[in-house]
Structure formats: structure tokens, C-alpha cells
Amino acid sequence: MGCDGVLNVLKPPGMTSHDVISFVRRTLGIRRVGHAGTLDPDAAGVLPVFCGLATRFIEYFDGHDKTYRFWLSFGEQTDTGDDSGRVIATSDVRSLGGSEIEQVLAALTGPQEQIPPMYSAVHHQGKRLYELARAGQVVERAPRSIVIRRLQLVKQEQDRILVEADCSKGTYIRTLAEAIAQRLGMAGTVTFLLRTEAGPFGLNEASTLEEIKAQGAALLKPADQYMAFIEAVRLPAAAVVDFAIGRTVVLPQEQLSSGTVVRVYDEYAHFLGMGRWQANGLRPVKVLPDAGTHAVHR
């Protein structure tokens, strides 16, 4: 397999997602590396990293829901939304009942609009918002549609709560935390943020940077191993050649809905790439270089 595959990385706090990419490039000695789902520098948790040919499949992982755990501490609000920023508002910390917290969490669950924070990687006129924020600029941001699928109170302490959130792509946990604090009548900021799931990637299977440094490419897994959410199609031997050279494959079996993207395998379960159903058959979308090899050796 060489250095083609996916790493489920446990990103530590204090590193940017790009820092992790640079680490993987140096450690594995390759240039073609990318990631799905950026994590804040102060956040920790699951960061899917794609290496070599596997980078061709990042697009299929980018829209997944995420799960986070975060401590929301009351009494202060910062300009960054976490404890790395400058305090811009304060409040008294009042006593909270568990039912009051749960009512607020329930009210913030479901489809909604969220305005990206200034300290985010969203582009505005060719620059990242965080670059403008560091220069002291505040610009108007358009709200984005997100979905908060679940908010659960995990633990409560005197001046902070631990919350678990299932949410759609594009959700800013720092902004969500500020909304929770506001509805509870206090200033608040995130003091710990951990991503425990990113689509099919989970925290329990994530590798630390130390493990990656020690084991290297041995930790890489084939991209299709994480793609069970996409339907698979097996091609008969006669059709593998057509797929390998980019020719639309006509199959006798019942077709899926037009436009459906599928994983494509040969009859021996070798992953060949991705295809898309059309009215006239299965059109190759992404073909792995060795698909032709599988076609020849029959």
C-alpha cells in the first residue's frame, strides 16, 4: 500500500490542523497529504488525514456530522470564544438547576442559523476572518444554516458545565456555547473542546502523534474501509477493463437512482474507485491507477 491511505489522528491542543499535516508529511516522507474537517488550534480530537492516492476521496468525508464534548465556563466572554482570547464581557455566576440547563439545551436543538465568529477560517474578500480579527477589524458575516441534532448535559460544576453536541458540518461550538450562556443569563466561554467523532472516525480508534511517529505507514488504512455509508457495486471481470479505462459500464443488474455515487470493486473485492449511476450505465468518476492491473490478471 506504501503511503496511500487514511490516518485517524488524535490532534492535540496547541496545534493547527495544518501543523498536523506538516507533521504527517515529515514523518511519512510524502507531500500529498490533506485533511477533512478543520479543528481549532486549541481543540483536541479526531482529525481524519488522507495520504497519497487517498486524498482523492476527501470530498466524500467533508459533509459528515461531528460530535464534540466541551466545557462551558461561566463568568467571562472572550473575543475568540475560548480561553485563549481577550475578555470582552463579564457577569456574575449564578446557581443553575439541571432542568433549567436542559431546557436551554433543548431550545437550541434543531435546524437554525448561525453567524460564523470573527475568529474563524471563513474567507472574506480573499482573507480569513481570523486574519481580519487579529488586525482589529470586524466585518458583517452572513448567517449559515446548521443543524444541532443533540445537546446533552454530561456534568455540572459550580461555574461550568460539560456538554456533548452532535451537529452538522459548519457548526461553530464556540458560538453555540456563547448562545447557551446567554440564554442562561451569563457570559461564557469554551475552556475545553474535544471532537470525539467525525463521521465514521471515532476517538477510540484515533492514533496519537507519538504512535504515528513510532509506527508510521503501518497505521494507514484504505480509504474505502471508512466508506460503508456509500453503497458498493461489484463488477464482473468483463466490465473491469471498461471501468479501468474510464468507459461507462453497462450492467445487467437493476440500476440505482441516477446520480447515485457508489464504491466500485471487482469480483474479488479489490477497490477500483468511485462511479456514478447514469441512465446509460455506471460512469467512472475516480479510478485508481491499479484498476487496470486487476483487469489484466484474470
Residue of 40, 82, 166, 224 marked active site: 40
**Active site annotation includes 40:** yes
Cell numbers found for residue 64: 459528515
Separation of alpha carbons 17 and 14, rounded Å = 10
Separation of alpha carbons 84 and 78, rounded Å = 8
Q: Does residue 71 contact residue 161 with C-beta atoms inside 8 Å?
A: yes
User: In Å, how far are 17, 21, 43, 49, 123 from 38, measured between CA atoms?
Assistant: 6, 11, 10, 10, 14
Separation of alpha carbons 138 and 199, rounded Å = 33
Task: Show which residues are catalytic.
Answer: 40
